[in-house]
Amino acid sequence: MRVVVTGSTGLIGRALLPALEAAGHETTALVRRSPGAGEARWDPSAGRIDAGALDGAGAVVHLAGAGIGDQRWTPARREVILRSRVDTTRLLSDTLAGLGRPPAVLVSASAVGYYGDRGAEELTEASGPGTGFQAEVCRAWEEATAGAEAAGVRVVHLRSAVVLDPDGGALRRQLPLFRFGLGGRLGSGAQWFSWISRRDEVGAILHALAETALAGPVNASAPGPVTNREYTRLLARALHRPAALAVPPAALRLALGRQLTDELLLGSLRVLPKKLLDTGFRFEDPALAEALVAVVGKGSAGARSQPFH
């Protein structure tokens, strides 16, 4: 089986490619630079893609997208975030629809931000969309796969929670502060935090490729969401450091801007992976306490290899 992957140099892609290869599959990474071995070129900004690299592939995993939490959400940055997701997905989807031999499945990244700030409400794939910038982006992102769906490709919208791994993302930014005993809850700490380890994120992608019953939205989120207060306590405990501080909302808004702070840091998402569990997926890191000890103590968690047909 040949699998084409976009976003192969990101936090998830770097673990996904070796997991696919370890399971005996051939991979092709779509890259924006001059391609090397096992790579093909695309230029989403110019609307160009190597369709020959996609024709005859068994599956496509689309992970490309600009970082959502690493800069203030200025109008220009919001446009970059939106376009990097919607335009690339539409280009990929429409290209797949025009192939003589399209792949059987497209696993396309999305995010739990689809649900918006929902307090303590338990959210499954049957829950409706929320409001706010994240929710708007996710709705447009998922709608951009319409071409592939209309052509009969099985499309999975992988709504990922915060991926925990010291190699990147939120945890990499938090670790230096927590290691110096300067970590603390954000605001009241009562907001719900949905998360997933990197190896379970990779495992969920492999499961979505293999499980033909999965289509549409799939929550890639550990079954044990926690409050920010509990997350802070468990991360500090895993590092054997105190975390008695609290970061006031005003300070966060001053440093990062109101919209990013209120949606990403203070927004509440209590997401459950109903479809994954219903189709037999087994999490290697279902509980946060053990997951944090594993990823903090051993560095980057290895990706699990899991065959699919």
Determine the pLDDT at residue 37.
94
Determine the pLDDT at residue 298.
61
Determine the pLDDT at residue 47.
94
Q: How far apart are CA 116 and CA 300, in angstroms?
A: 29
Determine the pLDDT at residue 307.
39
Determine the pLDDT at residue 211.
97
Positions of the chain with pLDDT under 50: 299-309
What domains sit in the chain, N to C, each tagged with a CATH number? 2-298 (3.40.50.720)
Determine the pLDDT at residue 306.
40
Q: How far apart are CA 169 and CA 164, in angstroms?
A: 7
- What is the residue-averaged pLDDT of the chain? 94
Task: Give the contacts of 276 (CB within 8 A, at least 6 positions apart).
Answer: 204, 207, 218, 219, 220
Determine the pLDDT at residue 297.
78
Determine the pLDDT at residue 140.
98
Q: How far is CA 240 from CA 165, 177, 237, in A?
A: 18, 13, 5
Q: Which residues pair with 49 in a beta bridge?
A: 42
Q: How far apart are CA 82 and CA 87, in angstroms?
A: 8
Determine the pLDDT at residue 55.
97
- Per residue in 168-182, is it b (16+ CB within 10 Å) or e — as a string? bbbbeebbeebeeee
Cβ contacts of 253-257, under 8 Å, gap ≥ 24: 256/72, 257/72, 257/73, 257/74
